[in-house]
Amino acid sequence: RKEVEQDPGPFNVPEGATVAFNCTYSNSASQSFFWYRQDCRKEPKLLMSVYSSGNEDGRFTAQLNRASQYISLLIRDSKLSDSATYLCVVNMVGYSTLTFGKGTMLLVSP
Amino acid sequence: NAGVTQTPKFQVLKTGQSMTLQCAQDMNHNSMYWYRQDPGMGLRLIYYSASEGTTDKGEVPNGYNVSRLNKREFSLRLESAAPSQTSVYFCASSAGVGSGANVLTFGAGSRLTVL
């Protein structure tokens, strides 16, 4: 059974805060990892890929821990516009399609 | 820059009615997908088409049929709608399956209510 687990939240944080999301996956042979972002009543969009060495894109940092089978997303200096649901996504060996977590909702308040 | 276009955006059906959701992509992608999204359930794959001429069941195919009309178009049909099919439906496309599925481009969604 393929599983990607996320804390559903919501995470309520003030502007400027740092917030981290974790995600665990069940298939140790999983090969590719991503964070997608979904704004309220909109479609999901790719936020960033997650590489083994960790990667950063502006205020966003993604990390992968293969030994513990988890992925993290760190958002620094949160903005109101960061309010969204963040979906952890895994491409698992043996599956043709991506496996989505249920998402973690982030609410950034003034 | 149309990307993935799906129609209709909103639809209300009565139980037992049928309808077809249309999806078209202009990115020359090989693979196309239909997902449904329900509160607390996340995105669930209904059907996908790895390439023109092929279709495969996903996680929740019951009550649905699909047609890959050509490389651009992938439709989803509800033959006899049920209230349990009330959901937001997303069409998506990607370059391929497996490693080619890493980047999905989604349509804006179709909100279906079955009374």
Q: What is the 3-state secondary structure (H, E, C) of A68-85?
A: CCEEEEEECCCCHHHCEE
Cβ distance of B109 and A42 shorter than 8 Å: yes
Tokens 């890929």 belong to A49
Residue A28 has pLDDT above 90, yes or no: no
Cα within 13 Å of Cα(B107), Cβ side = 30
- Triad A78, A18, A110: Cα angle to 5°: 40
Task: Provide mean pLDDT across the span A25-49.
Answer: 92
Instruction: Report the candidate in A25, A36, A21 with the shortest Cα–Cα distance to residue A3.
Output: A25
Chain A partners of B90 at a C-beta cutoff of 8 Å?
43-44
Chain A partners of B42 at a C-beta cutoff of 8 Å?
87, 100-103
Chains A, B: CB contacts within 8 A come to: 50
* 8 A C-beta contact, residue B7 and residue B107: no
pLDDT at A52: 85
Neighbours of A41 (CB within 10 A): 9
Residue A12 has pLDDT above 80, yes or no: yes
The answer to whether A45 faces chain B, any CB pair under 8 Å, is yes
* 8 A C-beta contact, residue A55 and residue A49: yes
* Residue in A49, A87, A97 to test binding to B, most B beta-carbons within 10 Å: A97
- What confidence category does residue A1 fall into, taking pLDDT thresholds of 50, 70 and 90? low
pLDDT at B1: 67
Residue A93 has pLDDT above 80, yes or no: no
Instruction: Report the candidate in B55, B20, B90 with the shortest Cα–Cα distance to residue A100.
Output: B90
pLDDT at A102: 94
The answer to whether A59 faces chain B, any CB pair under 8 Å, is no
Q: Nearest-CA residue of chain B relative to A9?
A: B40
Task: Provide mean pLDDT across the span B66-88.
Answer: 96
